[in-house]
Amino acid sequence: MKPEKAQLVVDGLKEAGVDFTAGVPDAQFIQVYKMLEADPDIRYVGTANEAEAAGVGYGAWFGGKKPALILATSGLLVATYHLARINILHEVPLLVVIPYRGDIGDPRWMGLYKKTTEPGLNAMDIPYRVVSRSSDIVRTIKECNESARAWLRCIAVILNEEALW
Amino acid sequence: MVARLELIKELASIVPPDVLVVTSIGNNSYFWAELTDREATLFHSTLGMCTPAAFGLAMALPRRRVLALDSDGNLILNLGVLGTIANENPTNLTVLVMDNGNYLGSHKKEPGMRTASGGKLKLQEVAKGCGIVSSHVIQDVATFSTTIKSALKSDGPHFIRAQVEALDTERPPKTKHVLDPRENKYQFAKYIERTEGVQILGGGLGNFG
């Protein structure tokens, strides 16, 4: 991933007012995690797994933070139990940002995530947008977070390889 | 061993009203709801989510005391959070685990099935091994009271494992409407807004965020 593309993700989070992030580092998004950890305006908490990250983000929202989870497609699977509770039962807004490993065009053995990512979000009743152009990254993250906070719902932004590479 | 109800009664009498309490699902939530009348409680955190939620709250509000009223099965699902807490070092956080060594013992007339802490796992040693220096195990009301009072007055993070009986044979009478998760969300968020001067709710007018 080129640093300037990672910067666009961080810029989008800042434009959205996100000030608290949690997740588990992933090879596809490692530059984003490193930038967040170094950024003085956005608190990044590295958790032991993605379900823990969802719980931490949920608690941070009640403390007045504007939280986002930065999750790999595999991590979304780990987070599903807590995310489903948070979105459907509690109706607490968490922005979920996901690099789309396993989308069509991915040359690695990651096709399983095509079967789990979007259907999984649909099953959890989490609306999402797929971003395919890097020029749309900042605007889409901002819009999705605005809707999440207004609707009191989790919303996901999925960034595919065309947008990130 | 001591009954969960005795400890929660004691807790209700010593926790100051402005301490934010995050309770795990089941009898921790129901007993706490029956025995207290306070806005500063976030109820019904499901398995694996109680201590992470309390930790996130403590990170967001570093000048406010936060207490996780967790249970063994709930914490064990996300035990790695103790390592995260140790590294982030939220000095305002106390994690209290009502450890009955049992899945489903809290609301059945006979024990359910053993948790790892009902076997060889010593949660206080795990917490210490994760790097939480202030880690305690208690088995009686007097020590419990002293330990909680000390934790709520000193820098943490603190971890307290309270070993309670496998079954809750004593229960408070059901006299109250226990808030459902959404009612509780609005009540708790409004309480935080009022006492901390932050905006949590109120989106949807096009000028938010």
B interface with A, Cβ–Cβ below 8 Å? 22, 42, 45-61, 64, 78, 80-81, 83-84, 88, 181-182, 185, 188-189, 192-193, 196, 198-201, 203-205, 208-209
Q: How confident is the model at residue A37 (pLDDT cuts 50, 70, 90)?
A: very high
Say which of B60, B78, B201 has its CB closest to residue A20.
B60
- B206 falls within a domain: no
B51: domain range?
4-174
Gap between the Cα atoms of A119 and A99, Å rounded: 16
A148: domain range?
3-164
Which of these, A41, A45, A18, A19, lies nearest to A33 by C-alpha position?
A45
CATH number at residue A151: 3.40.50.970
Q: Is the backbone peptide bond immediately before B172 cis, with ω within 30 degrees of 0? A: no
- B142 falls within a domain: yes
A 102-161 → B contacts, CB under 8 A: 145-146, 149-152
Residues 6+ apart with CB under 8 A from B114: B101, B102, B103
- Looking at the structure of chain B, the number of domains it has is 1
Gap between the Cα atoms of A80 and A75, Å rounded: 9
ipTM exceeds 0.90, yes or no = yes
Q: Which residue of B has its CA nearest to A21?
A: B56
- Looking at the structure of chain A, the number of domains it has is 1
For the whole model, what pTM was predicted? 0.96
Do B85 and B40 form a contact (C-beta atoms < 8 A)? Answer: no
B67-113 per-position pLDDT tens digit: 999 999 999 999 999 999 999 999 999 999 999 999 976 666 777 89
- B204 falls within a domain: no
- B39 falls within a domain: yes
Which pLDDT score, from 0 to 100, does residue B106 have?
A: 60
Which pLDDT score, from 0 to 100, does residue B105 have?
A: 64
The encoded tokens of residue B4 equal: 């969960």
Mean pLDDT lowest among A105-119, B9-23, B159-173: A105-119
B31-57 per-position pLDDT tens digit: 999 999 999 999 999 999 999 999 999
Residue B209 pLDDT > 50, yes or no?
Answer: no
CATH number at residue B12: 3.40.50.970
